[in-house]
Structure 1
């Protein structure tokens, strides 16, 4: 009997080599890629997100790329619905969904079928007004008073997420963490592969990637996106690299400082990603620098599928 199709997720910190591994796995398992990087959802945000150009995709279909204008707000709930439909459609075509990216809450929302608390525009607007008028520090103080645990885990500079946490606490009367899903069997029995590298080596890759982005035209890309409404966007303009270039264009600091702030922001984000994904016991970790990364990963996936087949037979 043919094994049922189950998705493969390739997750982990930025710059570890997830995209290349995802392509290799898609070729091996007759797959299609489902992007799970929030900023790659945006049309025109290519250089600063390290989005694979169409010519680099090896003819493999990619989903959840270039689906939003920079003026639109990316939300976990909207992504969850759209990506779930993509995964189901790929499996219906008897192909393997290869879910690739490192946006932490997006991964959990998709693979754990996170049910999100309701939203209230009035409540949200009130906290967003506080953020706009008094800054992230004031919002962080409010969150620390309302939900100390959430304030300790959310970056004090992540205004949008703090606003959402305050909204959930106010609407539900419960801590923000109470709305998170319970970690169990991943949706669709997805096998989760984590890709990481030794810290010093990864830092070097991040430095090289940042330099290449600026050399490849990140500033010019941002200038073009301004004409398409980047400044009016809620999420796109805050992306690492784009926010720093906007500050440079506004004469808040020079280009060298913009590069440095982008590098520092990326390194901090990588630390958060690593901490988040390492807490998940379902992740099978791989060294992105291993010369036999692809074959080792394929062997693990083959063994996982054999184990599932044995379990089905035993039942």
Structure 2
């Protein structure tokens, strides 16, 4: 077993970020890394950076780590909110950075895991958010309820065509937020800031695989979701207010099953649309990550145990050397 040198607790402990698209194997690799570090005498814990794992009850459709996995490896920021809570990237930035700081204070290596470039970068990079105004937000949300997202998107397109082009027309939350920012600041940008870490000691491990392989994995995952009782999970969450949850109800798969339960589409269409839109989302995830040349890409088709061993014997072994 690889021997990892002792490191002092504090801000100089590394932050390992395991990133990649949906169904690339991030959770499995992160758990293997934590287990192997622990066996070598170096404590490590997982900090979730997935925007949907925070919601209680959203388990099957998010591929949430199992109860057994979470019992074996401590996970931060999982199951912290009810489904009617409207989460923001700024919330995630604050909570994840606090969890990372807590790990470092205790001499624990934080392993950040997520599939969104926006969320990962908000946590590890210099990243500031425009302010918000409750009155402006409330008025825009009232207009959304009255006029529909199409009318607000048309307004956004007229005000800032570039901003509108970077937002899905049916993404109510982002359309409202863009209009709010434009009203408050006079402009909106969907361009991420330059790549500059706000945290020290960050190493990003990206899981890469061919498009055809990723497509097959996504289809298999969605099929497994249905077998595991996904429709029943969504039905139960709907009874607890999932439709009213502005963030949770937009999650891939959940939105489609809600439409099926409402009778607007059939079950086969819900499943196929979930596969199609998840594939499209995964391509966007990879596209954003590929713009970051700080990421060390590894072959996601290799078994997680093999990948973890190679990383700890190679690039992560050097990162975990004693701090001078």
Q: Gapped runs of 5+ residues in structure 2?
A: 38-42
Q: Which stretch of the first structure deviates more once superposed, 182-191 or 11-20?
A: 182-191
Q: Is the 8 A contact 1:130 1:138 kept in 2?
A: no
Cα distance in 2 for partners of 1:111, 1:199 equals 27
Asked if the contact 1:286/1:297 (under 8 Å) is kept, the reply is no
Q: Secondary structure at the match of 2:174?
A: helix
From 49, 57, 64, give the equivalent of 2:77: 64
Instruction: Answer yes or no: is the 8 Å Cα contact 1:39–1:45 preserved in 2.
Output: yes
* Residues 1-315 of structure 1: pairs in structure 2 closer than 5 A: 2-3=6-7, 4-29=12-37, 30-57=43-70, 59-177=72-190, 180-291=192-303, 292-298=306-312, 299-305=314-320
Match of 2:40 in 1: none
CA contact (8 A) 1:102 1:273 kept: yes
Deviations 1:258-304 (A, max 9, x none): 10111111111101111111111211111100354223322122234
- Determine helix, strand or coil for the equivalent of 2:52: helix
- Could you tell me which runs of 5 or more consecutive residues in structure 1 were left unpaired when the two chains were aligned: none
**CA positional deviation for 1:236:** 0.7
SS at match of 1:57: helix
Contact preservation (8 Å) 1:16, 1:197: yes
Bigger helix fraction: 1
Deviation at 1:114, TM superposition (A): 2.1
**Residue correspondences, number:** 308
Structure with larger RCO (C-alpha < 8 A, sep 6+) = 2
The one-character-per-residue Cα deviations of 1:96-147 (angstroms, maximum 9, x if unpaired) are: 0000111332212111142211101222233333433343333332222222
What are the superposed Cα offsets for residues 18-50 of structure 1, whole Å, 9 maximum, x if unpaired? 000000111233210011110110000000100
1:146-198: CA deviation from partner (whole Å, max 9, x where unpaired):
222222222222221121122112211233247x4332135232111111211
Are the counterparts in 1 of residues 126 and 197 from structure 2 also a CA contact under 8 Å? no
